[in-house]
Amino acid sequence: MKVIQRLGLVALVYGLTGAGTLFLPDMVFPVQAQEAPAAPAPAAGTGAGLSRSEVAERLNIVPVFTVVSKDGTPILANVDQEGTTLQVASFWLGQEQATAAITQIQTANPDIAAEAQVIPVSLGYAYEVAEQQRQQSENLVFQVLPRPSDVESAMQIVKANGQTDIEDFPGIPLFYGVSAQGILTIERDGVEVVPFFFAQQDLQLTLDRAAAENAEVTQATKIEVTTLEQVVDSMLDSSAAADIEKIAFVPSRDSSSMFRI
């Protein structure tokens, strides 16, 4: 693995927008937005935006966990929002949080909870299903919830950067490396990729291992955080820079080691 630096994608990841939990596929946040720095305009575009199916394919590497009934049917929660009852299908980036949800179901409906189980699916699958269902029912909502530990890491970075007024991290955290030379890029099997990590500690481990090969670059690299929502929106943007093709998602080692999806 070779660690290098490139400038092209920096403008696509700076800044935080929106607030709350990721709702698929339209990246709509359900809670009040926090004030956050505006993202700069993307680099000069080439009309190289990806399609939703291409984004979903890249998200397939990321496992999420959901609660289903004995026959594999997703267990939905009914949520009242402004006089409308929404059916919410939840996907957790952490298995522990999905398992804890069964305990909550036990309180509300013991019969359903008795047959409930946690299964892994890919985030790309959830993204595609959400798009299909959205076209059939406006009252069915898919949400993805981050691991609390990743949110805590993200909040530490945000506050260290001076954004002390933010009470809740606005979205699903993605961690990346950046220095004065640009955003961290990794050469893997002869191919350059721009990695976005779902866990800060995994990015730090990557930097630690790469230090033996290129200490100067890794020592100058700072870990920053953006949101999955912002990165996906950038990937879908028809005016996106060509470097958008290099984006790669890196799931947490904890979740990806539990299951092969």
> What was the pLDDT predicted at 258?
57
Beta strands in 7-103 (DSSP E): 22-24, 63-68, 77-81, 84-92
> What was the pLDDT predicted at 2?
54
Beta strands in the chain (DSSP E): 2-6, 22-24, 63-68, 77-81, 84-92, 117-122, 140-145, 173-179, 182-188, 191-197, 222-227, 247-250
> What was the pLDDT predicted at 55?
94
> What was the pLDDT predicted at 244?
86
The domain boundary residue, chosen from 93, 127, 145: 145
* 244 lies in the same domain as 165: yes
The model's pTM: 0.81
* 164 lies in the same domain as 254: yes
The domain boundary residue, chosen from 145, 167, 195: 145
- pLDDT mean by block of 10 residues, the chain; 261 residues: 48 41 39 33 55 94 95 88 88 95 89 91 92 79 94 95 89 93 85 94 92 81 94 88 87 74 42
* 151 lies in the same domain as 253: yes
> What was the pLDDT predicted at 131?
80
* 141 lies in the same domain as 76: yes
* 110 lies in the same domain as 202: no
Supply φ then ψ for residue 134, to 5 degrees.
-60, -35
Q: Is residue 57 part of a domain?
A: no
* 134 lies in the same domain as 189: no
CA distances from 75 to 26, 113, 205, 228 (A): 21, 9, 36, 25
- DSSP letter at 239? T
Report how far residue 64's alpha carbon sits from residue 255's, in angstroms, rounded to the nearest whole number. Answer: 8
The domain boundary residue, chosen from 145, 177, 211: 145
* 170 lies in the same domain as 246: yes
* 162 lies in the same domain as 238: yes
Q: Is residue 58 part of a domain?
A: no
User: Range of 22's domain?
Assistant: 2-32+40-51+147-258
Q: Is residue 239 part of a domain?
A: yes
Q: Is residue 107 part of a domain?
A: yes
* 8 lies in the same domain as 100: no
Report how far residue 17's alpha carbon sits from residue 23's, in angstroms, rounded to the nearest whole number. Answer: 14
The CATH number of whichever domain residue 103 belongs to comes to: 3.40.1350.100
* 104 lies in the same domain as 123: yes
* 117 lies in the same domain as 152: no
Q: Is residue 56 part of a domain?
A: no
Report how far residue 259's alpha carbon sits from residue 8's, in angstroms, rounded to the nearest whole number. Answer: 34
* 134 lies in the same domain as 220: no
Q: How many domains does the chain have?
A: 2
Q: Is residue 81 part of a domain?
A: yes
